[in-house]
Structure 1
Amino acid sequence: MYQPTAYCLLLRRTLRELASALLPMGKKKGKHKKAKTKTTFLGILVAVVLCTMLAYLSGCSEQPTHTELERLRQEAIAENYQIAALHEKQQAKPNWQFTVHGRTALGQPIPLSWSKVKTLAMTSVWTTDPHHTSDSQAIFHFRGVAVSTLLDEFGVAPNVKDITFVAYDAYRSTVTLNDVRQYPIILALERNHKKISRSDGGPLYLVFPQTKFPQLRQKYFDRFWVFYITDMVVGTEPIQLQVGKQILDAAAISKLPHITIEETVGYRIGWPANKVKLYGVRLSDVLDAAELKLSRRSVVIVRGKAPIDRSRANPIRLEAADLKRCDILLATHWGDEQMPIPASMGGPMTLAFSSACQTPSDARRWVTFVEELEVTQ
């Protein structure tokens, strides 16, 4: 019976690792599958031969038998498929966050796991898709979560009139509460029984049943069909601004000096194209209220609700010198009548710049749904 020495045991372990490395990490599809399998098998045989030769040349006096080699190969295959199965399982889980905010029964953000979203996805809609331009008459089957289901699940506070959906890139769309209750408007996970890829607007895509209810086609045309949704806002949230370690609410903000600017705004959607009046508080006064002091090298990081506005790799940065030379404010009201900024316009709080602060590359800095300020050195 084959009894390996410690050195041979090491070679055997190396053999198993080599064999596992030469196997494919997952099942391949397509016409080249058999060719790839043959190539992989030949690679394993080459590894076996090489390890056997190395063992012989290194003085390992007792060589494994063909039966032992076959057993080691089968062990490597089994381990590889276990790793491949785990890898595929992890890949199948979308790295996606969806959160319900605003005036729900809980009154605080409600993050939903992907498994919870899938559990709620019980509604089907057959409709055309205005973004499918190659065939505007094609009917698609969408499966997803009815927005009304989410409202039933988490409740709606009195006097709420609309629901706003926010995308990964800070795009947004607002639908009336009445329409959400009346029609099966859904957050779609699947199109024609397949997951909606990121390149096609997934994994969550706002869909309107415009074929069955053609009246929706005029009211909610293509720009309302939002790709890659990450957040849903019920009504408009109360002001809750995190500044360093403190939370400032509307009462705290109202105690600060208020200023007015009149500018053409840089927000992406939902605002007038001409100049509008914005009312709010200077960013520097907010930092002072939170007792955050700025040095010449300080940088203020501004974070909004949308993931693109919370990016750690590419944050919204404001230099301390900018705050001193011009008016940068957190706007809470707008227009001649000083109306509160609603969620449909990115409220309750947005970042705004006076003309002295603006440059042609400033569009991204007009942040909506401002939620957090951080000072770094």
Structure 2
Amino acid sequence: MRLNPNLGKNLALVPLAIASIFCGACTDQPTDKQLETWRTEAITLNAQKVKANSQEPQETEWNLEIGGKIAQRESVQLNWQQLQALATERVKTTDPNFVLNPKEIFDFHGIRVSSLLKQLAIAPNVRDVTFVCFDGYQVTVAVKDLLAYPITLAIARNGKPIPRAQGGPIYLILPYTQYPELKQKYNELSWAFYVSHMIIGTEPVRLRVGKRELDLATLDKLPQVTISDNVGYRMGWPTGKVKLHGVRVRDVLAFAGVQLPVNGEIVVQGKAPISRDPSNPVRLAAADLRDCDILLATRWGDNQESIPAKMGGPLTLAFGSKCQDREEKSFSLSKQRWVTFVVEISSNF
């Protein structure tokens, strides 16, 4: 039996017991109606993810996009044929996601990540690489470890393509059997399913708004806002209240010449394919954009540090406490809307 990657770390259907833990600091206990709302929303989100997975590209249509601090200014797209040609590495190792027999050795075939790094001529100051998955999950690995160990983007296991339900078509694997010390650095959560992007270091801010592309220097000229609250990002962030610094989405739209009507929505897209799904976009109501602080966060913490790729940066979507109250303490939907790796804002009037 293999653990379905749609369960566990990539699970959309969150048990209400977990929801109650997140609300442990709430002054008001959730009502039966709120609990039922959370349950309904969780079921809906799970169905949406299942639908997205069923409509995914076939392996021959799957691409790997590589960006960040590489010699080329634009990101590199590798199609399936190119990936197959690069897949010369073989790694025999156990798979922590194979729960029936955790000692079974699998023969993985794929692309050694270090070979990609050498071909791309990465910047000398890059310390880590972040792998982004179809569903928005992310894993970050140190460059020194990628160069020292045969960490591999596997496209086949035991001579066969890796099914989508088992982490394919691209599955980031670590050679646990040959190098057991890797388990101490990277646990089973670092085995990334259906990888779609590699980010070398952290990319510069490049935000598309309508027909314009805005960089960090441009965003820094707009009115700056700081919020301090619990964040809803899936991974990589501290627990408790975190300071986020950035610009209001409404100010960005105004700068780009996009006017908010009385009714209408704005669609926010991230790098992960699921956040670009036209059947399930992340929508922001115009009324919410006007009435509360919905930010594009560019920095975080007391020292206003840049948001690295391992935290979903350089640009993330964030909501002030007033915005979260408007969500009526909706656990699942509010978490879904905290988009990482934001790349585009478009109107949907």
TM-score range relative to shorter protein: 0.7 to 0.9
- 1:114 is aligned to 2:80: yes
Q: Does 1:203 align with 2:175?
A: no
Instruction: Determine if contact 2:60/2:81 at 8 Å carries over to the other structure.
Output: no
Relative to its length, the structure with more helix (as a share) is 1
Residues 168-222 of structure 1 show CA distances to partners (whole Å, capped at 9, x for unaligned) of 0000000000000110100000111111000000000000011111110111111
Quote the residue 2:341 is aligned against: 369
Paired amino acid for 2:254: D
Relative CO higher for 1 or 2, CA cutoff 8 Å, sep ≥ 6?
2
Match of 2:151 in 1: 185
Alignment match of 1:138 (pick from 79, 104, 115): 104
Deviation of 1:298 (Å): 2.4
Letter in 1 for 2:94: T
Q: Which of 260, 268, 272 is matched with 2:234 structurally?
A: 268
Distance 1:92 1:325, change over 3 A: closer
Instruction: Please name the residue that 1:239 is paired with.
Output: 205
Q: CA deviation at 1:107?
A: 2.5
Alpha-carbon distance, 1:246 to partner: 0.1
Task: Give the Cα separation in 2 of the matches to 1:126 and 1:312.
Answer: 39
1:95-114 → structure 2 map (5 Å cutoff): 95-114=61-80
1:162 to 117, 120, 128: 128
Aligned-partner Cα distance in 2 for 1:276–1:181 = 33
Q: Which residue of 1 aligns with 2:264?
A: 298
Q: Which runs of 4+ in 1 moved over 6 A?
A: none
| Percentage of identical aligned residues | 49
Name stretches of at least 5 consecutive residues in structure 1 with no aligned partner: 1-90
Residue type of the alignment partner of 2:237: W
User: Residues 61-98 of structure 1: CA distance to partner in whole angstroms, max 9, x if unpaired?
Assistant: xxxxxxxxxxxxxxxxxxxxxxxxxxxxxx98533221
TM-score, normalised with respect to structure 1: 0.75
Specify which of 185, 196, 219 is matched with residue 230 of structure 1: 196
Deviation at 1:139, TM superposition (A): 0.8
Task: Report the Cα offset of residue 337 of structure 1.
Answer: 1.4
Count the aligned residue pairs: 287
Change (3 A) 1:278 1:154: same
**Range with greater deviation from structure 2 (94-103 or 126-135):** 94-103
The RMSD of aligned alpha carbons is 1.1
Structure 1 residues 245-271: Cα deviation after superposition (integer angstroms, max 9, x where no partner):
000011101101111001111101111
SS in 2 for 1:174: strand
How far apart are residue 229 of structure 1 and its match?
0.4
What are the ranges of 5 or more consecutive residues in structure 2 without an aligned counterpart?
1-56
The yes-or-no answer on 1:249 pairing with 2:215 is yes
Name the CA distance, whole Å, in 1 between partners of 2:239 and 2:188. Answer: 20
Would you say 1:172 and 2:138 are equivalent positions? yes
Alpha-carbon distance in structure 1 between the residues aligned to 2:205 and 2:59: 34
| 3-state SS of 1:371 partner | strand
